[in-house]
Chains A and B, each alone.
Chain A
Amino acid sequence: MSAIYILWLRELKRYVRSRTQIVASLGQPMLYLLVLGFGLGPVFQRAGNGSYFQFMAPGVIGMTVLFSSIFSGLGLLWDRQFGFLKETLVAPVPRLQIMIGRTLGGATVSIVQGLLVTTVCVIAGFRPVDFATVPLAMVFMVLIAIVFAALGVAIGSSLQDMQGFQLIMNFMVLPIFFLSGALFPLAGLPKALQIATAVDPLSYGIDGMRTVLLGRSHFGAMTDLIVLSAVGAVLLVIGAQRFSKIEI
Chain B
Amino acid sequence: MIRVENLVKSFGSFTAVSDVSFEVAEGEIFAFLGPNGAGKTTTIKMLTTLLKPTSGAIELDGLDPQKQQNEARKRFGIVFQDPSLDGELTAWENMEVHGVLYHVPHKIRRQRAEELLKLFELWERRKDQVKKFSGGMKRRLEIARGFLHTPKILFLDEPTLGLDPQSRNQLWTHVKRVNESERVTVFLTTHYMDEADRVAHRIGVIDHGKLVAQGTPQAIKEQTGTESLEEAFLKLTGSTIRDESAGSADQMRQFAKMWSGGRR
Contacts and interface: CB of A to CB of B under 8 A. Distances in A.
B173 to A, nearest CB: 25
Contact of B73 (A2, A13, A84, A91): A91
B102 to A, nearest CB: 6
Contact of B51 (A3, A17, A88, A247): A247
A6 interface: yes
A90 B48 contact: yes
Given A90-B49, A90-B78, A247-B52, A83 B84 contact: yes
A83 B88 contact: no
Interface stretch (B31-39, B93-101, B163-171, B198-206): B93-101
B50 A78 contact: no
B102 A91 contact: yes
Interface size class of A (residues with CB under 8 A): 20 to 34
B141 to A, nearest CB: 12
B14 interface: no
Contacts of B70: 92-94
Interface in B56-97: 70, 73-74, 76, 78, 80, 82-89, 93, 96-97
Interface string B239-264: 00000000011011101100000011
Contacts of A94: 70
Nearest to B256: A81
A15 to B, nearest CB: 9
Interface residues of B, number: 38
Contacts of B88: 13-14, 17-18
Interface string A31-64: 0000000000000000000000000000000000
B87 A82 contact: yes
A21 interface: yes
B98 A87 contact: yes
A78 B262 CA distance: 10
Contacts, number: 102
B100 A3 contact: yes
A132 B80 CA distance: 52
B112 interface: no
Given A87-B98, A248-B51, A80 B86 contact: no
21 contacts: A3-B100, A6-B101, A10-B89, A14-B88, A80-B252, A81-B252, A81-B264, A82-B83, A84-B84, A84-B86, A86-B50, A86-B80, A87-B86, A90-B76, A90-B78, A92-B73, A92-B74, A93-B70, A161-B252, A247-B52, A248-B249
A198 interface: no
Contact of B93 (A3, A13, A77, A247): A13
A164 to B, nearest CB: 11
Contacts of A93: 70, 73, 101
Interface in B81-137: 82-89, 93, 96-98, 100-103, 129
A248 B49 CA distance: 10
Contacts of B256: 81-82
Nearest to B78: A90
A160 interface: yes
Contacts of A129: none
A81 B249 contact: yes
B45 interface: yes
Nearest to A16: B88
A91 B101 contact: yes
Contact of A2 (B87, B98, B100, B253): B100
A94 B72 CA distance: 12
